[in-house]
Amino acid sequence: MEKLNPLKKIFNKFYYELFIENFKEKVVYDFPQDYFRWDLIDYLIKKYDYKDYLEIGCDRDQLFSRIKLKNKIGVDPYSGGNVRKTSDDFFLENNKSFDLVFIDGLHTYAQVKKDILNSVKFLNTNGIILVHDCLPDTMSKQAVPRYKMQWNGDVWKAIVDLRQNPDLDIYTCEMDQGIGIIKKRNNTSILKLSTEIEKLKFKDYFNNYKEYMRVINLDEFKKKF
Ligand SMILES: C[S@@+](CC[C@H](N)C(=O)[O-])C[C@H]1O[C@@H](n2cnc3c(N)ncnc32)[C@H](O)[C@@H]1O
């Protein structure tokens, strides 16, 4: 996990609050306290008999070590997994395809969007892409540049952006920091945005996140997938 320089943290906080946004309200989610990303992945692996797993961003293998598949690849430039590369470098040379991709690398809008679109290229028919950290509860946890240790980044913007894509069907499950679910098929609910992604603020997210992210709870997820 990236170490944050204390001076940089203070600078980034002031910069963000002064020049980008200063919005204090907090979203209250109903995340299950006994069901986590590894449980969701285990559910999908069993239900669809998935064999090939890719994880982008592994840290200390908190998730990667729990994946009960022989064919698993974990990509991280610094720690964990079994491929020591950035996701961009990995996709440049990759020729394998996957049933399940878990995206949890660099949590910035542009990088997550790139990770999603690259994953789509290598996704098997009937495969699923999951994206971690889609539901931040405060402005500070999603601020880029980062100044909080506990950080979701602006992953949510990548979901909002791609909810407009006619060829991707996307939901977000209200659990474990918010998990985006992406299927390569016709978009059954195309989002119509009146603001450019770059101009969206946390305040917009706060007021519209259920629609923007197409939020479903775990029971709804299990009925749909
Ligand atoms: C939040 S951690 C991953 C946690 C893990 N997936 C889990 O479920 O507990 C994010 C990881 O992304 C890695 N990372 C940062 N930039 C990356 C990049 N460009 N490509 C792939 N991984 C990256 C970091 O080194 C860090 O280990």
pLDDT score for 2: 64
Q: What are the pLDDT tens digits along the chain (225 aa)?
A: 567 889 999 999 999 999 999 999 999 999 999 999 999 999 999 999 999 999 999 999 999 999 999 999 999 999 999 999 999 999 999 999 999 999 999 999 999 999 999 999 999 999 999 999 999 999 999 999 999 999 999 999 999 999 999 999 999 999 999 999 999 999 999 999 989 999 999 999 999 999 999 999 999 999 999
Count CA within 13 A, CB hemisphere, residue 16.
Answer: 22
Report the atom number in ligand 1 closest to the C-alpha of 87.
Answer: 20
- Tell me how far the alpha carbon of residue 76 lies from the centroid of ligand 1, in angstroms: 6
Count CA within 13 A, CB hemisphere, residue 40.
Answer: 30
> Does the model's pTM come out above 0.95?
yes
Nearest CA to ligand 1 atom 11: 57
CA 49 to chain centre: 23
Rounded alpha-carbon distances, angstroms, from residue 48 to 41, 71, 125, 130, 189: 11, 15, 12, 15, 24
Question: For a pocket test of ligand 1, which of 38, 58, 176 has the largest count of ligand atoms closer than 8 A to its C-beta?
Answer: 58
pLDDT score for 3: 72
Is any ligand 1 atom within 6 A of the Cβ of residue 74? no
Domains annotated on the chain, with CATH: 25-224 (3.40.50.150)
Contacts of 155 (CB under 8 A, 6+ apart): 107, 109, 112, 131, 132, 133, 134, 136, 142, 180
3-class DSSP assignment, residue 190: coil
Q: Kindly tell me the sign of the dihedral angle through the C-alpha atoms of 44, 50, 56, 62.
A: positive
- Tell me how far the alpha carbon of residue 56 lies from the centroid of ligand 1, in angstroms: 6
Q: How many Å apart are CA 104 and CA 95, to the nearest integer?
A: 21
Short-list 89, 93, 94, CA closest to 105: 89
- Tell me how far the alpha carbon of residue 176 lies from the centroid of ligand 1, in angstroms: 16
Q: Which helix (H) or strand (E) holds 141?
A: helix 139-142
